[in-house]
Structure 1
């Protein structure tokens, strides 16, 4: 049986305009292919907007490196709904619709999640951006797209800085020094079970931890308290997704706070988690067996 790994035109091997961080796509495929093959499954990478893709020929589809959806949100969600109508989709499109807009953080906060204080700007004009400094009582803020990923369109601004053009709805949060001194933690969960954790650190002078900006990852054995805080986020979902990444940073009180819950297309760091491929393949196999039963 074939399983689709849903990618994008700019992450597939051989793309003339391939993203500079698309080697992460290769790492994922290298981890998944042998694990799926051991279970009698074949995984193939296919662009989500491939007009020739026959999604009904796949036993299931797993969203992977769809790293252009934030500028094509409506088209992306329409495509996922079409895929889900023809095969099993992981994660399901209803969960994607909820997670694609970072206001989902408010829902998790209502369930008890500790999040960074946030101002939501549907129109990120100069007046709203300037007011955010007072509302958050901070002179150092990070402006992020409400629909976005990978620090695309993100700005770190000091009070008094010129406000750049921000044509998208934004979320604004105080800059937390721990992102530079300690790093950002990622906890990977497969079918609700903890797989592995790592800390991502930016290069000196930067705060963006993504590999495209020079960020580096180190596997960690999380403390009981840290893992408990991350696991609590997963427990807030109605159903355990096939895969999830919980990104957290240390707050001033020493406890982790949620930055993002990624259930759309997160990179799952197979290099730092050598059991990832087997866990995903086994989880997919179990779900297929349950569906056929």
Structure 2
């Protein structure tokens, strides 16, 4: 019987102190995958990714799970994944995939392979003047500034033309994008793939008066039945990846003003996979993990 590790962190693990406001998503993932893995003859072991290597003794495969503090400890996180692979443990998604995905400049590479992406400026840091210049270049009045290495909208800022204080500065390597109104009207569409096959799709809408769709900020999710064109647009992003389709992927897309869907993020590290909108997710993942352990 194979043992499957599910990586978590100190703020998503139950009983480990003060939990994140979205730690309930960790619990929902456990409810979805633990019985499915057991049905497939697999044992689940939840492990803090920062635990000593000895904690991984006997583990055959690890999923990166809810290691949701990795962005502030990126080098240590990558070193741990390398160490696990060196011990012969299958890491999903692999250190190679994580290295490619950890900095959002991967979107530039996707664009060179024909993926539809949102217009973006990439800067090491951002001043008020540079933010206003980006609005001019994009022809927009609102700008979203994100960290190049980040997750869950942490540190993200929305700027409005004429309202940026003269001394404002964003001190992280940044990506600047025009605000797209579709986030509040249609919402973001998230396509969940397991080994390159579409599992389920959901629509994520922000709380009234906000633009962030994460549950931490009051975002709401609902099942979405994609049109063939929408499913094809998401599959094109998977096809554009510079490696074989990984165990899991979440492709987040938003409609541009011309009506086309563009990729916002290709979440390949530790995305929440929304099992409540995809009741077959646990079984799909279990079958895929079983195949990987058998190779």
Gap runs ≥5 in structure 1 = none
Q: Does 1:126 align with 2:143?
A: no
Aligned counterpart for 1:247 among listed residues 238, 245, 252? 252
CA contact (8 A) 1:153 1:166 kept: no
Deviations 1:178-221 (A, max 9, x none): 00001000000001111000000011111110001011100011
- Secondary structure of 1:14's aligned partner: coil
Task: For 2:262 and 2:164, locate their aligned partners in 1 and report how far apart those are by CA, in whole Å.
Answer: 29
Following superposition, the deviation at residue 54 of structure 1 comes to 2.9
Deviations 1:10-39 (A, max 9, x none): 100112121010000000011010000001
Q: Which moved more, 1:242-251 or 1:124-133?
A: 124-133
- Superposition RMSD in Å: 1.2
Following superposition, the deviation at residue 53 of structure 1 comes to 4.3
For residue 5 of structure 1, what is the aligned residue in structure 2? 6
Task: For 2:54 and 2:163, locate their aligned partners in 1 and report how far apart those are by CA, in whole Å.
Answer: 47
CA contact (8 A) 1:66 1:265 kept: yes
Task: For 1:122 and 1:6, locate their aligned partners in 2 and report how far apart those are by CA, in whole Å.
Answer: 31
For residue 218 of structure 1, what is the aligned residue in structure 2? 222
Aligned counterpart for 1:110 among listed residues 99, 109, 112? 112
TM-score by length of 2: 0.96
Following superposition, the deviation at residue 127 of structure 1 comes to 3.2
For residue 205 of structure 1, what is the aligned residue in structure 2? 209
Aligned counterpart for 2:276 among listed residues 258, 271, 275? 271
Deviations 1:140-168 (A, max 9, x none): 11000100011100011011223544221
CA contact (8 A) 2:4 2:44 kept: yes
TM-score by length of 1: 0.96
CA contact (8 A) 2:5 2:44 kept: yes
Q: Does 1:259 align with 2:264?
A: yes
CA contact (8 A) 1:119 1:136 kept: no
For residue 76 of structure 2, what is the aligned residue in structure 1? 75
Alignment: residue pair count:
290
Q: Does 1:37 align with 2:54?
A: no
Q: Does 1:236 align with 2:237?
A: no
Following superposition, the deviation at residue 252 of structure 1 comes to 1.2
Equivalences for residues 163-202 of structure 1 within 5 A? 163=165, 164-202=168-206
Equivalences for residues 40-79 of structure 1 within 5 A? 40-51=41-52, 53-79=54-80
Task: For 2:18 and 2:70, locate their aligned partners in 1 and report how far apart those are by CA, in whole Å.
Answer: 16
